[in-house]
Amino acid sequence: MKNKAIHGGDIYRNQVRLDFSVNVNPLGMPDGVEAALHEAVCSVQEYPDMEALALKESLAEKLAVPEEKLLFGNGASELLMAVVHAMHPTKIMIPSPSFYGYQHAAKAAGSKVIPLMLKEENGFLLTEELFTVLEQERPELLILANPNNPTGVLTSKEYLKQLLGKCRKTNTFLLLDECFIEFCEGQDTMLSEIGKEDRLLLLRAFTKSFAIPGVRLGYLVGSTEELLIRIREQLPEWNLSVFAQKAGQACLSSENEAYLTETVRYVKKERQFLTEELQQMGIRILQGEANFLLFYCEENLYEKLLRRGILIRDCSNFEGLSQGYYRIAVKRHEENLQLLEAIKECLKP
């Protein structure tokens, strides 16, 4: 049996023709972004802008937030690590199942992880149990994703506002990972709360929305500038390459507004198609949103599909999930058809 990676995208150690383990935009990289990356080659003999001023100005205008509330990183994962090292929290609360990187960052900072196991019988939803544990444990930091990975569950803005009220009482910072929010219809982002709350950090990335995981570009939107300064001190100098900065500016072009709108429509349609087809095969689908879906199947699909050159995410190493849980990305229709056909073959007696 091959070793299963802690993240998706392990195409370098496997013979893969279709990668369903990583969740990036199925429409692919926009033409303007590709052109910007080619143009950036002309700047490689110069150091990149250490403050990424042009990119910061463009993003601030796009999000309608002050530039001082933005901080860029070499991917969201670099920022996640910088946050925990800047805060040095004694306790970090992390509901599970969730992205492994949160646990990894907590361990790297020497913080005690306060777990909260989300239950499948509740649809992996956050409930008032979170409020209770928060008041009991009073962690300095709470890390959540909206929508959550790998479940795809989208938490309502009303619930999150309630949660922020509890965080004020317990002196807890909320780090909210919104890396997949742009794939969700309605996009219940908490951006509007940045100017109102002083204990909120939003974590986002260009990686997923614009299909550029190899570029590495993430950002924080912070309600407290003093904390952002401390986080910045944890980052290396020149952490954003000229490629990342040029690609980011191209992503923010008004030309891509239609691209993002079409992305939401396409993902919703293909996600529903995959759900219905898998259910007809007797596979249990977990309700969620975003550009991926979580399902349960007793068959060892990971190994069987890998032998057919298809990589999916085995979720058995997520805390709170057991053997038999898998996550697949929503991809192009023709690719989704190939996956479904391969799964049918795997399920044959």
Give the range among 7-11, 308-312, 318-322, 339-343 with minimum mean pLDDT: 7-11
Residue 34's pLDDT band, with cuts at 50, 70 and 90, is very high
What is the mean pLDDT of the segment spanning 39-45?
96
DSSP state at residue 69:
G
Using the CB atoms, write b or e for 334-347: b if 16+ within 10 Å. ebbebbbebbeebe
Q: Whole-model pTM? A: 0.94
User: Which band of pLDDT confidence, cut at 50, 70 and 90, is reported for residue 188?
Assistant: confident
pLDDT confidence band for 11 (50 / 70 / 90): low
Kindly tell me the sign of the dihedral angle through the C-alpha atoms of 80, 104, 304, 343. negative
Find where tokens 């300064």 sit: 229
CATH topology of domain 31-254: Aspartate Aminotransferase; domain 2 (3.40.640)
292-296 and 310-311 strand pairing: unpaired
Is it the case that residue 3 has pLDDT exceeding 50? Answer: no
What kind and span of H or E run contains 206?
helix 206-209
Give the tokens for residue 247.
């690609």
Q: Which two three-digit tokens encode residue 67?
A: 């530039």
Q: Are 2 and 14 in contact (CB under 8 A)?
A: yes
The confidence band for 5, taking pLDDT boundaries of 50, 70 and 90, is: low
Among candidate residues 110, 103, 56, 48, the one with its CA nearest the CA of residue 77: 103
Across the chain, mean pLDDT equals: 95
Query: Is residue 258 packed enough to be buried (19+ CB in 10 Å), middle (13-18) or exposed (0-12)?
Result: exposed
Tens-place pLDDT, residues 233-269:
999 999 999 999 999 999 999 999 999 999 999 999 9
Q: Which of 3-12, 27-36, 195-204, 247-256 has the lowest mean pLDDT?
A: 3-12
Quote the CA–CA distance of 273 and 218 in Å, as a whole number.
30
Q: So what's the pLDDT on residue 248? A: 98
Mean pLDDT of 86-106: 97
- Contact yes or no for 270/331 (Cβ under 8 A): yes
Written as one string, the DSSP assignment of 255-278 is GGHHHHHHHHHHHHHHHHHHHHHH
Which pLDDT score is estimated for 7? Answer: 46
- 138 burial (CB, 10 Å; 0-12 / 13-18 / 19+) is middle
Q: Is the pLDDT of residue 96 over 70?
A: yes
- 145 beta partners: 177
pLDDT of 1 higher than 60: no
Average pLDDT (86-104) is: 97
Is the distance from CB of 219 to CB of 201 less than 8 angstroms?
no
Burial bucket for residue 284 (CB in 10 Å: 0-12, 13-18, 19+): middle
pLDDT digits (tens, 9 = 90+) for 66-91: 999 999 999 999 999 999 999 999 99
Superfamily of domain 18-28+257-347: Aspartate Aminotransferase, domain 1 (3.90.1150.10)
- Please report the pLDDT score of residue 234 as a whole number: 98
Average pLDDT for 208-233 = 97
Domain ranges of the chain: 18-28+257-347, 31-254
Confidence band (pLDDT; 50, 70, 90) for 2?
Answer: very low
Give the up-direction half-sphere exposure of residue 281: CA atoms within 13 A in the CB hemisphere.
24
Q: Is the pLDDT of residue 13 over 80?
A: no
Whether residue 288 has pLDDT greater than 60: yes
